Structure 1
């Protein structure tokens, strides 16, 4: 079945439908990793986005659930040049096609992902639609794309309750704004006792445990939507921090400066 990727600047890519057949509007981004497509799919940082994989063949070693960074995939959509239908790997437990269908994630294959990536590089991140409706009308779709906002996605990906990974070393409080599982595991393997907190935990609750460090995790969405989180972060500024990608964005919002989105 044909599928179409329509960007807010009016560019249309035609390919083949993969995964779910549902129609979605999302922020279109790209990932240049040559391996680790399952880690990308299960990274909560991609919630609210449709991911274009620039490597030309995706799915050749299948799905190995042990390698997942969370319990489920998070992107709204998936964009590839070629999807391998017959993975070859003794660890493989499933195919990407089945994985996408299971979680109702639509995708498109067979498009020029290099051209799409170049376009996003030059014009910056754009919203787009993945649809199988060949009767689409650009004049109706473009306004919807331009009006789309990912909204507050952190609340979708954060953990529901506090968890503790016991260790004999420094005590680290990990704020889960969309943390990959490997972050807490890696700290714990190095001896740290890691306590993972939901994103909206009050600073007072964390500070009373007297942690040796506080790590603010990576996460999805626009940091300026996280106003309550930013206010709580102000209470940590006398402590030493361990920072990850999302955190640089969030912590900078406490400063009176103008910000622009990266291309």
Structure 2
């Protein structure tokens, strides 16, 4: 079946459909990872987006539910060069196309994804539509232009849990504020000997503190951090308790806003498993896994915090620490799945922080 991709700048690309049928719209972004397409598709931080995979052959190892980062795919569409027709893996439960049909995710293949990526790098992220029905270029381009901007949507509400739940682990109590948390983050924390309880994004500080946690983690998630002003307010109140807090990705941006800093939208974002980040304190460089379209404005940060990590590609803020409060955050993903695991030291540092700090709100 024929499928088309239409972008707001007038671009119109024909290809072959796979997965679900119909029409899906969203912000078109690219990911440079060579593997991990299933983790990417199920990462809640991709809510509201259509993902372009720059690696040319996708679907090689099918899919399995064990590697999913959430209950199912959160992307709105997938754009690839070529779909593997005969996946091979002893862990596979079926083909990628079967997985996408099951969850009603639309895809288009036969696209020159590297040319499309160059376009996005030059012009910035673009709103777009994948359609297997309507094929009129003018109609689809017009619809693409009318799609809501990511910055105008609170996408966290689409992916956060509906009620608190105990994830697992034992030891120190850790409360996770679910802005769209990845399964691998929870698994990593529980594996370090932390008792992990997950709370919906809109949970009040009072309810979170009723758990008597030794620490709080504000998770990754989709969209503009400024639309999650409720989480910024919660972070401010929790910091006043001097409770150890860690932020990851969107959580990092929320903490920056909570201390009085500012955030901004990147031209085309950072998405992939190969981004070099320097730990300013040690000088060591890490190859990191990233997925974000917004960043912290360094010159907006108050004197009470300092930048702990920087991106070596463009110099953007990748981490910060508070000078007086037990607060730390990173823009990238230390659980790094897919990717290397050498950034797990950040979770160990946070655990140590939890073990030695007593906060005043209990």
Residue 259 of structure 1: how far off its partner (Å)? 3.9
Aligned partners of 1:174 and 1:217 also within 8 Å: yes
Q: What per-residue deviation string (whole Å, max 9, x for no partner) do you get for residues 151-183 of structure 1? A: 222111111221124444322111111101111
Q: What per-residue deviation string (whole Å, max 9, x for no partner) do you get for residues 98-151 of structure 1? A: 11111111110010110111111121111101012464142x444432332242
CA RMSD in angstroms, aligned pairs only: 1.8
Cα distance change of structure 1 residues 166 and 92 upon mapping to structure 2, 3 Å threshold:
closer
Corresponding residue for residue 62 of structure 1: 62
Paired with 2:112 and 2:181, the residues of 1 have a C-alpha distance of 31
Corresponding residue for residue 216 of structure 1: 218
Paired with 1:46 and 1:104, the residues of 2 have a C-alpha distance of 16
Paired with 2:2 and 2:36, the residues of 1 have a C-alpha distance of 27
Higher alpha-carbon deviation: 74-83 or 160-169: 160-169
Higher alpha-carbon deviation: 192-201 or 163-172: 163-172
What residue ranges of structure 1 are gaps of 5+ in the alignment?
A: none
Residue 249 of structure 1: how far off its partner (Å)? 2.1
Q: What per-residue deviation string (whole Å, max 9, x for no partner) do you get for residues 223-256 of structure 1? A: 2222222222221223322120111222333466
Q: Matched residue of 2:114: which SS?
A: helix
TM-score by length of 1: 0.93
Paired with 1:78 and 1:222, the residues of 2 have a C-alpha distance of 22
Residue 261 of structure 1: how far off its partner (Å)? 0.8
Cα distance change of structure 1 residues 223 and 137 upon mapping to structure 2, 3 Å threshold:
same
Corresponding residue for residue 116 of structure 1: 116
Residue 78 of structure 1: how far off its partner (Å)? 0.7
Q: Matched residue of 2:265: which SS?
A: coil
Cα distance change of structure 1 residues 134 and 157 upon mapping to structure 2, 3 Å threshold:
closer
Aligned partners of 2:236 and 2:259 also within 8 Å: no
Structure-to-structure mapping, 1:115-194, within 5 angstroms:
115-133=115-133, 135-138=135-138, 140-149=139-148, 150=150, 151-194=153-196
**Greater strand share, 1 or 2?**
2
Cα distance change of structure 1 residues 165 and 177 upon mapping to structure 2, 3 Å threshold:
same
Paired with 2:127 and 2:215, the residues of 1 have a C-alpha distance of 37
Aligned partners of 1:85 and 1:97 also within 8 Å: no
Higher alpha-carbon deviation: 113-122 or 207-216: 207-216
Q: Matched residue of 2:97: which SS?
A: helix
Q: Matched residue of 1:99: which SS?
A: helix
Cα distance change of structure 1 residues 57 and 135 upon mapping to structure 2, 3 Å threshold:
closer
Aligned partners of 2:4 and 2:135 also within 8 Å: no
Paired with 2:104 and 2:140, the residues of 1 have a C-alpha distance of 22
Corresponding residue for residue 39 of structure 1: 39
Aligned partners of 1:27 and 1:48 also within 8 Å: yes
Cα distance change of structure 1 residues 190 and 3 upon mapping to structure 2, 3 Å threshold:
same
Paired with 1:222 and 1:92, the residues of 2 have a C-alpha distance of 35
Corresponding residue for residue 334 of structure 2: none
Corresponding residue for residue 352 of structure 2: none
Residue 257 of structure 1: how far off its partner (Å)? 5.8
Paired with 2:127 and 2:68, the residues of 1 have a C-alpha distance of 27
Higher alpha-carbon deviation: 92-101 or 231-240: 231-240
Q: State whether structure 2 residue 225 is matched by structure 1 residue 251.
A: no
Paired with 1:171 and 1:241, the residues of 2 have a C-alpha distance of 12
Cα distance change of structure 1 residues 53 and 198 upon mapping to structure 2, 3 Å threshold:
same
Q: Matched residue of 1:260: which SS?
A: strand
Equivalent residue pairs, number: 262
